Structure formats: structure tokens, C-alpha cells
Amino acid sequence: MKTVKTLAISAALLICATGAIAADSTSQIIKRDAPKGITAAFYVCIDKAGSDTIAIGSCLTTERQTQDARLNAAYKALLGKLNAKAKERLVSAERTWLEFHSKSSSFESALYSNEVVDDLQVTENEVFRLCERANTLDKYLTITNDQ
């Protein structure tokens, strides 16, 4: 049985494509499921993109790079605050998370169809995972700063 998808991007594109008047902008629809930390520039980009899937893909790619840089900066800052044993554990945890992230992306690529909207959803999921991990590392960094 094919799973019914309630994906933010596909819903937003469907609304735009059918000409239906939506109460919420595309960015507001995405924001409902987005983790804290997604940039305001991303939401502006998504709204400017409208139903242009290439432009949406560009917005997602830019945000993926931003979130990846955020994650890397938090990771490096956290490493600088930890003792040797804690550093070792962080490195191990990060390697495990990278494996999870990779396998999740691979699974989602196989799960969703080959349509453009599905590719965008896979990328959005990746961006959200990067953001969530950066948020987690930022939280750990706050804890180390408080000690």
C-alpha cells in the first residue's frame, strides 16, 4: 500500500499549480514542520520561488550549505571545549550520526518516487536533519559554556 504523503513542498506546489488561493504562503507551510534554526533567508527564497521547482531546489541547496556550515562550526567549537575522553565520545557520536544521516537520505531516495517534488522533499528532509543536529550541538555547547 502506497503511503499517503502529506509533504509541505508537494502540497504547496499543488496549491500553486492548481491556482487555488492559499491562506498560507509556501514558506509558512514549510515552517510548520521546520526545526528552529532554519534561516529567514530560506523562507524568503521559497516564497520568491513560487512554484518554480528549479528555484526551490536552489533555495534548498543554499540552506543545506548554511546548515552544514552551522553544524561544522558547532562541532568544532564543542571539540575545543571538551577534555580528551569527551572529545573521543563526541567524535564517535558524530560518526554515528553521519552514518544515520547518510542511510536516512539513501532510504528516503529509494522510498520516494523519481518525481521532482519527491526529490525536493528528500532534500528538505536532509536540510532539516542537518539543522536539528546543529541545534543539538549548539545545546551541548551551551552546556559546556555554563560549566
Question: Can you list the alpha helix ranges (DSSP code H) found in the chain?
Answer: 8-18, 26-33, 40-49, 53-79, 84-111, 116-146
Q: Which three cell numbers stand for residue 101?
A: 544521516
More confident site: 8 or 127: 127
* Contact assessment for residue 35 and residue 135, using Cβ atoms and an 8 Å cutoff: yes
Which has more confidence, 139 or 118? 139
Asked whether residue 141 carries a pLDDT value surpassing 90, the answer given is yes
Cα separation, 48 vs 28, whole angstroms: 13
Separation CA 132–CA 61 (nearest Å):
17
Cell of 79: 571539540
Q: What integer best gives the mean pLDDT of the chain?
A: 87
Q: What pLDDT, in 10s, does the model give residues 59-115?
A: 999 999 999 999 999 999 999 999 999 999 999 999 999 999 999 999 998 898 777
Residue for cell digits 492548481?
18
CA 146-36-99 angle, 5° bins: 85
pLDDT of residue 146: 79
